[in-house]
Structure 1
C-alpha cells in the first residue's frame, strides 16, 4: 500500500513545495552570536527548521534563537553557524555537508526527515541512510562534540501540508521519529530531541520568530547539560573563529 502512495505523495510534496516561493526566508549570513566568554560553537545542519522559513533573518530564525536560549542556560557565549538546503534528505546529507570541518564544533544540531516523511522514504532506507550519516558525524567531529538529532516537526502544522496527504505524511514522520530515537540511543554523543509545534497556533499561519524561540527552548533544555559537562571536563574542540564558506 505504501509503495502505491509514493508517486502520489512525491508529486503532492513537489507541487506544494513549489508554492512556497512567496514565503519569506533569511537572505543574510547564516550565522548568529550571543555574546559571552568561553563560547560554545554550534553547527545547525539540514532542512526544514534550519532554513528559516517565515522570517527575514537568521537572527530571528533558529540560529539566533538557539544562541540566545542556550546562552541564557549556560551563562556562556554561543556562536551558531547554519548549513542548510530545503531539499536535503537523509540520502543527500553526506554530500550536502560539503566537506565541512566538524572538529571545531562543540555541538551539531541536525534537522532532517521532513522531506523523507513527505515522500514516504521507507523505514529501512531511513535507518540505513541516517545511521550512516550520524556515524559519519560522530567519526569526523571532535571527541567531545555532541550531536543533537531533531525529530521531524509535525507535518500538518506546516501551512499547505494538511489534508489527507498531510495526515499520511504526519503518521510516517512519527514512525521515522521512533526509528531515529532508537538509532540515537545506540550511538555515542548523540541525542534525539523530539520537536513539537507551538501550542495554540493556527495551521494556516506560517512560521514566526515565536516558533523558532519555541524550538530553540526545546533544544537548549537538552543541550545545556551535556555542554556544561564537557566544559567541566575541559574537553573542548580546538578554538577556531566561525567563518568559511556557507552553503544555503
Structure 2
C-alpha cells in the first residue's frame, strides 16, 4: 500500500531524516518509534505532504505522491492526526468533524450526507453524542483527541497516520485508545502510528520501525524489536517483554 524509498529531509544544515525506506501492507498497523528528535513526526509530515522530502520517493496505492500537497494527499486517502490537538475552538464538535467530511477525499458531498458522516464517525470513536453541539473550547484533552480522530476518519482514509495519540492520557484512557486503534483497523483502515508509550505500541503493532538520529536502525515484529540489542542500547535502555 505505502512504499517509502530512500527518503531524506533536510532543514538547512540539519538532517531530520536520512535515507529511510520501508513499506506498509494493506490492513497492517505499523509502529514508528525512537527517541525525541529521531525524525518520527517529520516523516509523518513528509508522507502527508506537509513537508516535501529533500530526496527519495513515496508511493501510495501505486501512485507517486512524493511532491503532492496535503489536500491532494488527503484526497487520495491518507489522513493524519497531530501530537498537539488541532481544532477549531469556537466551533462545535460536530462542526469540527464536518470539516473532514466536507473537505476529505470525496469530490462532492451534500451537507446532509456530510453531517450524517460526521455523526457516524463521532459515534464510532465513542464521543458522547449529547455533547456534539457544544463548542470544543471547553472540552477535555481526551474529548479533543477523539474529535480530531473523528475528523480524520471523516475524510474516509485508506491509511491513517497517528502521531502520539496517548500523549496526556492516563493508563485507563490509554487502554481505551488501544481498543479504538484496533477497532479502526478492523474497519479496514491501515495505520502508521508514532508512539512513545511502548506498552501501547507493542500491543497494537504488527511491525515496528525504529528511527535514531533520522536513520532507520531496526524493523521487525514487536518481539524482535524488544530484543534487538541496537534498539535497547539507543532507545529502550532495557529489555521489555512482547
TM-score by length of 2: 0.30
TM-score by length of 1: 0.29
Higher helix proportion (structure 1 or 2): 1
Higher strand proportion (structure 1 or 2): 2
